[in-house]
Homo-oligomer: A and B are copies of this chain.
Amino acid sequence: MTVEKKEFAVDAAYETHWTKLTQTATKLQYYSMIGSLSGWDMQTMMPDGAFEKRAEAAGFLAGETHRLMTDPRLEEAVEALMEGAEAGHLGEREARSVALFDRNLKKIKNIPEERYRAYFTLTARGESVWRRAREANDFSSFAPLLEEIVAMSREFIDYLGYEEHPYDALLDDYEPGLTVKRIDQLFPALREGLIQLMKKIEASPHKPDLNRVRGTFPEAQQKKISRTVSERLGFDYHKGRLDKSAHPFTVGLHPTDVRITTRYFATDPFSSLYSTVHEAGHGMYEQNLPLELEPYPGLMAPVSMGVHESQSRFFENVIGRSYGFWQYVLPLYQEAFPDVFGKLDAEEVFRLVNASRPSLIRVEADEVTYNLHIMLRYELEKSLMSGEIKVRDLPELWREKMDAYLGIRPKTDAEGVLQDVHWSSGLFGYFPSYTLGNIYASQLYAALRKDIPDLEERLSSGDWEGPLHWMKSHIHRYGSLLDPLPLIERASGAPLSIEPLLNYLEEKMARVYRF
């Protein structure tokens, strides 16, 4: 399949149906744009007092979306178009568009409008309630809302349907086709490999000295570095912006309006940078979705959250934690914070930012232990959705699992069960995307290295165009034309596998820990 421009290709008999579909899709796109804007605003700009009314507005927008999607004339049109596609009366893009639309329509049609709307009102409230609960380290103030969200998610699972495990219904929303069964084929072997690697790291006498970056790092300078580095990687500020939020995120209103956020800690000079680079990875995917696919509903869109995370995790870790990257970036840090960074060289910073040790916060975790944080969340979500555990069990189960997986226990819920924004927004089923993203990213990296064998030297010298260029032509340009697995297989030239990730980590850690 190619994405070159083709003539409009719908057989005359299907034109009315196609028009109905595209008109609805255009409206849905506007609703999605302004809904995204409102969501971004809630997390970055909105005054606290506005919270209740805005949550209602989110519910209203969801209701309008639902109304459009469940219009019987739309269903008729989509059914006719599905038949037309099967009989070869539609072009390739139109057929793909219709198939994706049909998939979404089947998901939403069993959900009563009132419940759909209530769900969005509820989850729009979530971020703010969670933020305050985390600040106050008070799980009990978040639990009642979380219970409602869990109950509604389980109710929605029944509307959505599933074949084997209730959690499959949610996984499919973020990664089409992903199931508990498939995850359970990947995660245990990955876990085993990671634990072996952790043992080697533990045994190494060559540990980076984290005390070398003690100091105070004012926000203004951190902000400047985040901006410079993200721009240099290819995030386009003519079509995007960078703000501050409690939990970093990316929102794409349209390829011409993509907003990323980060957060700043005065005692940590790297956290804001890596959040920015992570989100810039998401943001560049959104910015480079092909505008020529805009006329085809659903095609000018990221194909899955796993693929989305492959982009963010690739830029954050593969690029952002590479030696070449630091050869170029260190001078920015030395200029901003001469006292601390004046004494360091690129090799040492490279080792510091790749230091691996069990830690409490997922988004600050190193690449080796990161996936264990995901596995913990995966197991909790799966059991919550099947009803085996309850919201009230979460804080203690979190502590137990942290102990079992990473050998440490959070002292507070703020650094335990309250650390992530996801559940407050109803994003159950999302977390596995991160590990999938890591797996995809390392497959893509293996292929990219063949095309750019001198990547490290290029990064060192400030020639940073390669990685984005490669991602544009192997991932971004396809929009949602291909399903995630075929897309990754085509781009990487290999089937899904955890080996590239384990090899990549082994290679990097061997360099950091000198084993």
Contact = CB atoms under 8 A, between A and B. Distances in A.
Interface of A: 26-27, 30, 33-34, 37-38, 41, 45-54, 56-57, 60-61, 236-241, 253-254, 256-257
A237 B27 CA distance: 34
A38 B49 contact: no
A253 B30 contact: no
B53 A256 contact: yes
A238 B47 CA distance: 6
Nearest to A56: B30
Given A256-B53, A257-B54, A45 B238 contact: no
Nearest to A53: B254
A253 B37 contact: no
Most buried by B among A57, A238, A240, A241: A57
Most buried by B among A48, A49, A56: A49
A34 B61 contact: yes
Copies held by the complex: 2
B34 A34 contact: yes
Contacts of A237: 47
A47 B189 CA distance: 45
Contacts of A46: 257
Contacts of A37: 34, 37-38, 41
Contacts of A60: 26-27, 30
Contacts of A240: 47
A45 B241 contact: yes
Contacts of A41: 37, 41
Nearest to A48: B238
Contacts of A30: 56-57, 60-61
Contacts of A241: 45, 47
A257 B38 contact: no
Contact of A49 (B48, B53, B56, B256): B256
Contacts of A256: 47, 49-53
Contact of A50 (B52, B53, B239): B239
Given A50-B256, A52-B256, A57 B33 contact: yes
Nearest to A27: B60
Nearest to A254: B53
A470 B101 CA distance: 57
A50 B51 CA distance: 26
A239 B34 contact: no
Most buried by B among A56, A237, A253: A253
Closest 6 CB pairs of A and B: A50-B257, A49-B239, A30-B60, A49-B256, A50-B256, A49-B238
A257 B33 CA distance: 20
Nearest to A239: B49
Given A34-B37, A50-B257, 9 more contacts: A27-B60, A33-B53, A34-B57, A34-B61, A49-B257, A50-B239, A50-B253, A53-B253, A53-B257
Contacts of A54: 33, 257
19 contacts: A27-B60, A30-B56, A30-B57, A33-B54, A34-B34, A34-B37, A37-B37, A45-B241, A47-B237, A47-B238, A47-B240, A47-B241, A47-B256, A48-B238, A49-B257, A50-B239, A50-B257, A53-B253, A53-B254
A311 to B, nearest CB: 20
Nearest to A237: B47
A87 to B, nearest CB: 34
B45 A45 contact: yes
A239 B241 CA distance: 24
Most buried by B among A27, A45, A61, A239: A45
